[in-house]
Amino acid sequence: GYNLIIFFIISHLMSILGKLNPWNPSIPYEILSLNISSKLSTNSHAIKESSKDFGKIIQEILPAAVLYPSCVNDIIDLIQFSHDLSVPFHVAAKGHGHSIRGQAMAKNGVIVEMSSLNNNNNENCGVRVSWDLGLGFYADVGGEQLWIDVLCSTLEYGLAPVSWTDYLYLTVGGTLSNAGISGQTFRYGPQISNVHEMDVITGKGELVTCSKDMNSELFFGVLGGLGQFGIITRARIVLDKAPTRVSITVKWVRMLYDDFSKFTKDQEHLISIHHNGLDYVEGSLMMEQSSLNNWRSSFFSPSNQTKIASLLSKNKIMYCLEIVKYYDDQNANTIDEELKKLVKGLRYLGGFIFKKDVSFVEFLNRVRSGELELQSKGKWDVPHPWLNLFVPKSSIMHFHAAVFVDIILRQNKTTGPILVYPTSRKRWDDRMSTMIPEEETFYCVGLLHSSSGYKECKILDNQNEEILNYCDEVGLNIKQYLPHYKTKEDWIKHFGKKWNIFQQRKDLFDPKMILSPGQRIFN
Ligand code: FAD
């Protein structure tokens, strides 16, 4: 009672001063009688900040309030409260807000700022490394943790996760809700294939521990589940020995191609080597207008950049194969020989092979320096109309001719890296929610555009639409990664034969459709 009266007085005064948004009627005042009332904010600044994301495309989807939980029970209280209402409000976990199209937003609902769990009072917080006979080494990690912090903490034990994303300032809960892919995926599978167990708060406000053998329906649903079935508060992540030499531990190589067929055949060959193979295989397109001016270009020295630029002005489009091999004290003397064997017979352009020796952390955290550089030029915090796709191997040559050459090169509108690298279905469990093509080998394609403003963003987005429509019309059987659709029919098509199970899991774990409305699947 007191809480309510005091809140009324304060909120009235604050809204007169313009610091608080007027109380949003979607959330009953009774929420202020809960213990979490002091951790809820309706401050205008908090509301605005919580509804921003990396994409900067979707705006003005404002929540009614923001919760800054200090422990897992705060989130349970919030969801239970909403679930018990006859008209529940939406709740969205916000990890690091690096979604592109408002996936972590919740109009008139409550945003849970997961980062505030990262405090000393939260016993579930942080990164705890353990070992047991069955699982080997693993880390229990809060869903709010950034991968960079998981890396730093586990390295203290000479250990590290095996599967990564290119960029490490993403939360564990955020990437596990999608898949978490990079150049290690062909070997270890995506991040969602490297989780033993999770604690999840469902849409009914129940805290459930799940794994392959315990509450497995929830476990597989949540992995790649786009936040639809629960909020991940802890994940038990597979660890392996990290290359432990103090300084240099990574051989990083890039090779240039002028022929897409040779480039992809070589990539496919490299990911098929099982014994003593590579630790990372990726690749990207190079086009005159974009390739030497993005966050991946720092690899080449200024003199190499000149060499590459003149080749590009002749070829218009080229391909850069990127590989990495980790090494340790044991093989420090033989690593050059090993690498030579691996690249022997590859059909890159003679003389266009570039090597770098770097530390493990420098390699894994490679996008960060590019980010900081773009930030200093004001080019990071701009609209990002990204399009990420999985393309079956049998369609990749067609995709190259029709999309890379006919649409992107011809329209001359690329403004960021374009990633192309193969991976294998083998390490994906079909019970997980993420959709991938049916073929054994498929390509990860990332059109990572950044635009100077909303006009350019719209143009690039129209190009994305054109690409999607084309792939659909000619039946290239692609799947969107980090998917985004406007209609339920499109979602049903996206999930295909998995739609029924996806919907059943929603009925089971979030029957009132409270969670992650920004994905726009059920709302
Ligand atoms: P948010 O944007 O905060 O949330 C994403 C979705 O997950 C929302 O629906 C949200 O409600 C839900 N969610 C957040 N936390 C939780 C939780 N704890 N439990 C349940 N649901 C939750 N992806 C790759 O796979 N590989 C890459 O190499 C890669 N590189 C990237 C580089 C950059 C610069 C950026 C911006 C993104 C990149 N991504 C990559 C995409 C990224 O993995 C996803 O956008 C991811 O969701 C971002 O994590 P986040 O913590 O910012 O999530």
- Domain-embedded: residue 82: yes
What's residue 2's pLDDT? 65
For 446-457, how does the pLDDT look when each residue is reduced to its tens digit (9 = 90+)?
Answer: 999 999 889 999
DSSP state of 20: B
Q: Ligand 1 centroid vs 110 CA: distance in angstroms?
A: 18
The C-alpha angle 235, 448, 440, rounded to 5 degrees, equals 65
What's residue 415's pLDDT? 79
Shared domain check, 265 and 163: no
ipTM comes to 0.99
Single-letter residue type at 179: A
Relative to the CA of 171, which ligand 1 atom is closest? 51
| CATH code of residue 110 | 3.30.43.10
For 43-92, how does the pLDDT look when each residue is reduced to its tens digit (9 = 90+)?
Answer: 999 999 999 999 999 988 999 999 999 999 999 999 999 999 999 999 99
What's residue 301's pLDDT? 84
> Which residue's CA lies nearest to atom 31 of ligand 1?
167
Return the structure tokens found at 197.
């167990």
**Ligand 1, pocket residues at CB < 6 Å:** 53-54, 92-99, 103-104, 114, 143, 165-167, 170-171, 173-175, 177-182, 226-227, 231-232, 482, 516, 518-519
Shared domain check, 217 and 102: no
Looking at 90-164, which runs of residues are DSSP E strands?
91-94, 110-113, 127-132, 136-142, 159-161
> Which residue's CA lies nearest to atom 21 of ligand 1?
227
Nearest alpha-carbon partner for 400 in 229, 257, 281: 257
- Domain-embedded: residue 490: no
Shared domain check, 298 and 216: no
Q: What is the mean pLDDT of residues 416-433?
A: 96
- Provide the residue range defining the domain that includes 432: 250-481
Is residue 490 scored above 60 in pLDDT? yes
Specify the DSSP element, H or E, that contains 79. helix 72-83
What's residue 300's pLDDT? 84
Residues 233, 142 contacting (CB under 8 angstroms) = yes
Burial environment of residue 501 by CB neighbours within 10 A (0 to 12, 13 to 18, 19 or more):
middle
- The CA distance from 313 to 240, in Å, is 44
> Where among 222, 243, 264 does a domain terminate?
243
Shared domain check, 175 and 223: yes
Is residue 292 scored above 60 in pLDDT? no
Shared domain check, 88 and 136: no
> Where among 243, 271, 304 does a domain terminate?
243
Is residue 148 scored above 70 in pLDDT? yes
- Domain-embedded: residue 520: no
Relative to the CA of 146, which ligand 1 atom is closest? 51
Is residue 371 scored above 70 in pLDDT? yes
pLDDT band at 105 (very low <50, low <70, confident <90, very high): very high
Shared domain check, 350 and 307: yes
pLDDT band at 15 (very low <50, low <70, confident <90, very high): low
Catalytic machinery residues: 98, 166, 282
Q: Ligand 1 centroid vs 483 CA: distance in angstroms?
A: 12
Shared domain check, 264 and 333: yes
Least confident of 108-122, 173-187, 263-277, 471-485: 108-122
What's residue 63's pLDDT? 97
- Domain-embedded: residue 521: no
What's residue 299's pLDDT? 82
Shared domain check, 141 and 62: no
- Domain-embedded: residue 518: no
State what percent of residues in the chain have pLDDT above 70. 93
Shared domain check, 221 and 255: no
Q: Say how many C-beta atoms besides its own lie within 10 A of residue 513's C-beta.
A: 16
- The CA distance from 448 to 270, in Å, is 24
pLDDT band at 119 (very low <50, low <70, confident <90, very high): confident
Q: Ligand 1 centroid vs 352 CA: distance in angstroms?
A: 35
Q: Say how many C-beta atoms besides its own lie within 10 A of residue 124's C-beta.
A: 17
Shared domain check, 273 and 147: no
Return the structure tokens found at 255.
């090779």
> Which residue's CA lies nearest to atom 27 of ligand 1?
165
Separation in Å, CA 210 to CA 171, 279, 290, 308 = 19, 30, 44, 50
Shared domain check, 228 and 133: yes
- Domain-embedded: residue 308: yes
Pocket test for ligand 1, best of 94, 421, 505 (most atoms within 8 A of CB): 94
Return the higher-pLDDT residue of 295 and 131: 131
Looking at 220-376, which runs of residues are DSSP E strands?
230-241, 250-257, 280-287, 317-326, 353-358
User: Residue 318: CB partners within 8 Å, gap ≥ 6?
Assistant: 256, 257, 258, 285, 286, 287, 291, 308, 311, 312
What's residue 124's pLDDT? 61
> Which residue's CA lies nearest to atom 47 of ligand 1?
174
What's residue 20's pLDDT? 64
Relative to the CA of 94, which ligand 1 atom is closest? 3
Q: Given CA atoms 344, 350, 351, 357 in this order, what sign does their dihedral have?
A: negative
Q: Given CA atoms 461, 466, 315, 393 in this order, what sign does their dihedral have?
A: positive
Q: Ligand 1 centroid vs 171 CA: distance in angstroms?
A: 7
- Domain-embedded: residue 486: no
Relative to the CA of 516, which ligand 1 atom is closest? 11
What's residue 17's pLDDT? 52
Return the higher-pLDDT residue of 311 and 202: 202
Q: Say how many C-beta atoms besides its own lie within 10 A of residue 6's C-beta.
A: 12
Nearest alpha-carbon partner for 252 in 316, 339, 143, 337: 339
- The CA distance from 114 to 187, in Å, is 30
Q: Ligand 1 centroid vs 200 CA: distance in angstroms?
A: 17
Specify the DSSP element, H or E, that contains 338. helix 335-343
Q: What is the mean pLDDT of residues 1-18?
A: 60
Split into its structural domains, the chain has a count of 3
Looking at 243-352, which runs of residues are DSSP E strands?
250-257, 280-287, 317-326
**For tokens 């630029």, what's the residue?**
309
What does the DSSP assignment read for 450-516? --SSHHHHHHHHHHHHHHHHHHHHHT---EEES---SSHHHHHHHHGGGHHHHHHHHHHH-TT--B-
**For tokens 């880390």, what's the residue?**
139
Q: State the first-to-last Cα distance of the chain, in angstroms, to the nearest integer.
A: 34
Q: At 168, is the secondary structure helix, strand, or coil? A: coil
| CATH code of residue 209 | 3.30.465.10
Residues 142, 125 contacting (CB under 8 angstroms) = yes
Q: What is the mean pLDDT of residues 349-378?
A: 93
> Which residue's CA lies nearest to atom 13 of ligand 1?
174
Pocket test for ligand 1, best of 170, 191, 222, 445 (most atoms within 8 A of CB): 170
- The CA distance from 171 to 158, in Å, is 22
Pocket test for ligand 1, best of 177, 280, 445 (most atoms within 8 A of CB): 177
Relative to the CA of 166, which ligand 1 atom is closest? 28
Relative to the CA of 200, which ligand 1 atom is closest? 19
What's residue 414's pLDDT? 74
Residues 143, 172 contacting (CB under 8 angstroms) = yes
| CATH code of residue 356 | 3.40.462.10
Shared domain check, 433 and 451: yes
pLDDT band at 367 (very low <50, low <70, confident <90, very high): very high
Mean pLDDT, the chain, rounded, equals 93
Is residue 405 scored above 80 in pLDDT? yes
- Domain-embedded: residue 48: yes
DSSP state of 205: S
User: Residue 329: CB partners within 8 Å, gap ≥ 6?
Assistant: 244, 245
Q: Say how many C-beta atoms besides its own lie within 10 A of residue 44's C-beta.
A: 15
> Where among 117, 144, 168 does a domain terminate?
117
Residues 445, 388 contacting (CB under 8 angstroms) = yes
Pocket test for ligand 1, best of 57, 101, 175 (most atoms within 8 A of CB): 175
